Amino acid sequence: MPPALRTRSRLTTWRRDAAVLVCAATAWTAVVIALMRPQVLVESQTPDYAREDLVIVLDHSASMAARDVPPSRFGRAAQEIKTFLAHKPDIIDRVGLVEFSGTSLVLSHLTRDTDSLSFYLDWIRESPEVRFGTDLGGALATARELVRKDDRSTTKVFLVISDGADQGTQLAKELAAVRDERTRVYAIGIGADREAVIPVVNEMGVETLLEDEDGRLLTAGFDESTLRDIASQTGGRYVRSVTGADLSLALRDLVLRERPLLAMKTTTEYKDFYRESLMVAAVAVGLLLCLL
């Protein structure tokens, strides 16, 4: 072999031996470090949001029995509220429930027991009673009374779910009071057809359509403007649900849209580093096998 080739061969062998030595040392060191289970201190910041109490104000008037939103406006609203409660976001602490038509009733004071709320929703959904009238102002008054009886000074948010056909006389007065109390009212309008017929069950258990005293069919109206006005006057937001399928998403969107930020919470924790060391060892062993 010519001297030049012998010199090049020795140089190549030396470089390969050096690479083998480096890979072996790296793999050994990485394995030793991994066995020591090293940890590094990691600092992270997460937003700390204020928690709020939610009062759901649910329309149960006769028009909510219309089936333009299956299985009915009220049935779909109750179903989606139950889904929302089952996956309640952390920002919502307690939930209260007000049912209204021509009159209003507190079904549940503020509670974290979502099972009891679901029970009340099932109970009123199965009631065959036809409730005439829609008094949105009276419903807000009942929600305000519920809040006044609560002994905790937490932020309260109202959520009105209705087809919006207000027939009361006190809405303007109650909206003024809600604004003075700085309570935001969000609203969801549910309804697809302004002329949907209203099924009812008579005393014989037979389903018929709701009629007036002259035998003319009554239909379920839908008034979006009233709900929009309630939301805009109180700093809330309005969403319309036509099919019902988007109602649970609208619920989450409304309560999560404006989350009051209290502070940024700083947390420190130790993070294991041995997996990274094992990865380095694996790469070094792979290179070592290629060189041998």
Instruction: Judge whether 82 and 124 are in contact, CB under 8 Å.
Output: no
What is the predicted pLDDT for the residue at 202? 72
87-99 in b/e form (b: 16+ CB < 10 A) is: ebeebbbbbbbbb
Q: Are residues 254 and 122 in the same domain?
A: yes
Q: Are residues 34 and 110 in the same domain?
A: no
Tally of structural domains, the chain: 2
User: Residue 99: is its pLDDT beyond 90?
Assistant: yes
Which residues 6+ apart lie within 8 Å of 230 measured at CB? 136, 160, 171, 175, 185, 187, 236, 238
Q: Are residues 213 and 182 in the same domain?
A: yes
User: Residue 123: is its pLDDT beyond 50?
Assistant: yes
Please, which pLDDT band fits residue 173 given cuts at 50, 70 and 90?
Answer: very high
Determine which of 63-77, 171-185, 189-203 has the lowest per-residue pLDDT on average: 189-203
Q: Are residues 286 and 148 in the same domain?
A: no
Instruction: Judge whether 273 and 39 are in contact, CB under 8 Å.
Output: yes
Location of structure tokens 């009631």:
127
Handedness of CA 153, 159, 164, 167 (dihedral sign): negative
Q: Are residues 92 and 33 in the same domain?
A: no
Instruction: Judge whether 150 and 181 are in contact, CB under 8 Å.
Output: no
Please, which pLDDT band fits residue 5 given cuts at 50, 70 and 90?
Answer: very low
Percent of the chain with pLDDT strictly greater than 90: 37
What is the predicted pLDDT for the residue at 232? 94
Average pLDDT, the chain: 81
What is the predicted pLDDT for the residue at 98? 97
Q: Is residue 120 part of a domain?
A: yes
Q: Are residues 93 and 13 in the same domain?
A: no
Tokens of 277: 């060391």
CA 229 – CA 209 distance, rounded (Å): 31
Task: Kindly state the average pLDDT of the residues 260-287.
Answer: 67
Condensed to tens digits (0 to 9), the pLDDT of residues 14-23 reads 777 776 677 6
User: Residue 67: is its pLDDT beyond 60?
Assistant: yes
What is the predicted pLDDT for the residue at 182? 92
Q: Kindly report the CATH number assigned to the domain that includes residue 99.
A: 3.40.50.410
Range of the domain at 95: 48-263
Q: Are residues 131 and 191 in the same domain?
A: yes
Please, which pLDDT band fits residue 207 given cuts at 50, 70 and 90?
Answer: confident
Q: Are residues 117 and 8 in the same domain?
A: no
